[in-house]
Amino acid sequence: MQEITATMPLLDIHPEVQKALQNNQPVVALESTIISHGMPYPQNVETALMVEQIVRSEGAIPATIAIIAGQLKVGLTEAEITLIGKAGSEVIKTSRRDLPFVIKRKQHGATTVAATMIIAQRAGIRIFATGGIGGVHRGADKSMDISADLQELAHTDVNVVCAGVKSILDLPMTLEYLETFGVPVIGFQTSEFPAFYSRKSGLSLPYRCESAAEVAAVLNTKQQLRLKGGSVIANPIPKADEMEYQFINEAIDRAIEEALSKKITGKAITPFLLNRIKEITKGKSLEANIKLVCNNAKIAAQIARHWS
């Protein structure tokens, strides 16, 4: 039988990011789906650039990750961020299963949490900041709709700072899933799992850390033990920026009902819900989203700096 060999397409790592990695300087990975599918233009580009600046202000190097014309990019230029932001939903929302197709067809791809983790690990980046990870969707007992992010966390050695799980999902089931696959969920200065727009969910966490230095020490110990997979550092939205619990949950329930009535599923469901929630809350959810992403980038950079 003829032997078949395959090579992973070479990463195009920005020179600044490459230099930082070679010198063991702190680097923070950032995803691009939040740019193309999470926010409208021009707020998406403005937020992406602002998040990169926050990472820099905390002493780390930002590495926004995407696929440009089939090339895996680790560290985007401002022009590339603008390209992704302007194209919006025309850019392929790229998770693990989509990577070979987007690369082979030389398309533009905005990486989800899962795809960003894969590319970050190959580049040697250990810390990743995002808004919220994917999880178990409501009604998953019938639909089996579970984000690939969760399996990636179980297998890929990248640690994700987020404001918990998007509150459009089934939070208790998501935590159960992560526990089953041995993914540590660390509350950053909290013992309650944050619910994205809100600091509270009513779900307690077994572990909390009070500082970035403590998180870095825990992650370093996990690495020394050679425990496979990533970790979730659950960082609540700042108190001044969180949305009123009942108000946001009523908006979420309304948006989910509309999605069900329109039979929106798969990749389209999260962008639809986020946009509909933004409309129902008259833009307040988008403002909260931007605030929590910036806060996550800040903490991720601090963790990366202590770890390096």
For residue 244, give every residue at least 6 positions away whose Cβ sits within 8 Å of its Cβ, in sequence order, or none.
Answer: none
Residue 74 backbone phi and psi in degrees, to 5 = -115, 95
Report which DSSP code applies to 225. Answer: T
- Reduced to 3 states, what is the DSSP secondary structure of residue 230? coil
DSSP single-letter state for residue 263: T
Q: What angle is formed at CA 123 by the lines to CA 97 and CA 118, rounded to 5 degrees?
A: 20
* Count of CA atoms in the C-beta half-sphere (13 A) of 14: 21
Separation of alpha carbons 251 and 249, rounded Å: 5
Answer yes or no: are the C-beta atoms of 196 and 155 closer than 8 Å: no
Longest dimension (CA), the chain: 64
- Between helix 113-123 and helix 148-155 the angle, nearest 10°, is 20
Could you check whether the bond before residue 42 is cis, i.e. omega within 30 degrees of 0?
A: yes
227 φ/ψ sector (left φ>0, alpha ψ -120 to 50, else beta): beta
3-state secondary structure 38-61: CCCCCHHHHHHHHHHHHHHHCCCE
Catalytic residue numbers?
31, 166
Q: What gap in Å lies between CA 57 and CA 148, rounded to an integer?
A: 32
